[in-house]
């Protein structure tokens, strides 16, 4: 049993898409090396508990579950905690805008730590090589100068003015364009990105990745899209995002070590890694040890 740092223990952790849990049926999954079970009651309210080895079967009367873990729902997902979680999840205000198409885009198991997956999500340098002719294309390989800060007030990493030429920035894009990104890391294992919206120049599409740390070297990526797109179907929007993530998965699984090294000297940084460096430092300062290799003190 690994040592779970107190901050990780007290966080809300994503465990499943709400609409994929059927009332009265049990889904099991792994969170922080612990087997948990999830169901919903007749009113649709989620229930999460530690699954014991003796428990069997896929059906349950939710009323019989007495030892429940804390639960909150948000952004289409169920979140739980092994400690004392905050009153609310981190905010994504755009999610509530009435004309947005909000959708979960699936939960994908990846054999890498959650922090490694966050760091890959922040990296624009891989676009032309991994998402060729969609999110990037040669010769447009340069990651231009951008700004990174850690907001003390909101306790999150923020990268702004990130610009990249993309052949097909979104499903609704009809031609290549220079796209502007803003990245937030409002939770050690979650990131939210805002990118230029091809349909409305004044607004941004929102794509978020919520990582469920299953073990220190394995996670599930739960994806959210909150889009301004009046023409595409939800199925097509989902498929677009799944295609992108399908390209990231093998790259992520080839990373070594699978835990994220926090020592600044462990991997040679280049300018494009500015947000990654800020993220690693933020994790270090917080005292996160789960899924990382802490810096030598």
Q: How far is the CB of 131 from Fe ion (least distance, A)?
A: 6
Q: Cβ of residue 119: shortest distance to Fe ion, in angstroms?
A: 11
| Residue (216 or 248) nearer to Fe ion, CB | 248
Residue placing its CB nearer to Fe ion in the complex, 250 or 257: 250
* Closer Cβ to Fe ion, 119 or 248, answer by number: 248
Q: Which residue is nearest to Fe ion (CB)?
A: 248
Of residues 230 through 289, those in contact with Fe ion by CB under 5 A are 248
Residues in contact with Fe ion, total (CB under 5 A)? 1
Q: Which is nearer to Fe ion, 90 or 121 (CB)?
A: 121
DSSP-assigned letters across all residues of the chain: -----HHHHHS-EEEEEGGGS-BTB-EEEEETTEEEEEEE-TTS-EEEEEPPTT---SB--GGG--SPPPEEEETTEEEE-SS---SSPPP-GGGG-TT-EEEEEEEEEESS-HHHHHHHHH--TTHHHHSBTTTB-TT-------EEEEETTTTEEEEEEEEEEETTSSTT--S-EEEEEEEEEEETTEEEEEEE-SS-TTSEEEEEEEEEEEETTEEEEEEEEEE--SSS-HHHHHHHHHHHHHHHHHHHHT-SSSSEE--TTSS---GGGHHHHHHHHHHHHHT--TTEEPPP-
Q: Nearest approach, Cβ of 250 to Fe ion (angstroms)?
A: 11
The nearest distance, CB 30 to Fe ion, in angstroms, is 24
| Nearest approach, Cβ of residue 109 and Fe ion (Å) | 17
Task: Pick the closer one to Fe ion by CB: 156 or 248.
Answer: 248
Residues that bind Fe ion (CB under 5 A): 248
């Amino acid at each position: 049993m690994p040592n779970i740092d107190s901050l990780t223990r007290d966080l809300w952790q994503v465990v499943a898409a709400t609409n994929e849990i059927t009332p009265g049926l049990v889904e099991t999954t792994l969170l922080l090396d612990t087997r948990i079970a999830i169901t919903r009651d007749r009113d649709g309210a989620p229930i999460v508990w530690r699954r014991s080895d003796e428990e069997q079967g896929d059906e349950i009367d939710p009323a019989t579950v007495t030892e429940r873990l804390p639960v909150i729902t948000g952004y289409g997902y169920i979140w739980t905690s092994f400690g004392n979680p905050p009153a609310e999840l981190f905010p994504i205000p755009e999610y509530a805008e009435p004309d947005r198409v909000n959708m979960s885009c699936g939960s994908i198991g990846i054999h890498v730590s959650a922090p490694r997956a966050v760091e890959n999500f922040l990296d624009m340098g891989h676009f032309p090589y991994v998402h060729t002719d969609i999110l990037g294309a040669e010769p447009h390989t340069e990651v231009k100068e951008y700004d990174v800060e850690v907001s003390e007030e909101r306790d999150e990493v923020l990268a702004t003015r990130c610009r990249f030429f993309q052949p097909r920035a979104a499903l609704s894009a009809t031609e290549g364009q220079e796209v502007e990104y803003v990245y937030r890391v409002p939770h050690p294992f979650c990131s939210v990105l805002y990118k230029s919206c091809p349909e409305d120049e004044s607004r941004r599409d929102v794509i978020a990745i919520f990582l469920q740390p299953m073990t220190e070297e394995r996670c599930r990526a739960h994806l959210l899209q909150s889009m301004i797109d009046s023409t595409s179907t939800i199925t097509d929007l989902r498929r677009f995002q799944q295609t992108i993530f399908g390209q990231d998965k093998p790259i992520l699984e080839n990373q070594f070590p699978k835990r994220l090294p926090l020592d600044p000297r462990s991997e040679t940084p280049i300018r494009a890694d500015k947000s990654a460096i800020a993220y690693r430092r933020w994790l270090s300062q917080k005292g996160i040890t789960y899924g990382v290799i802490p810096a030598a003190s």
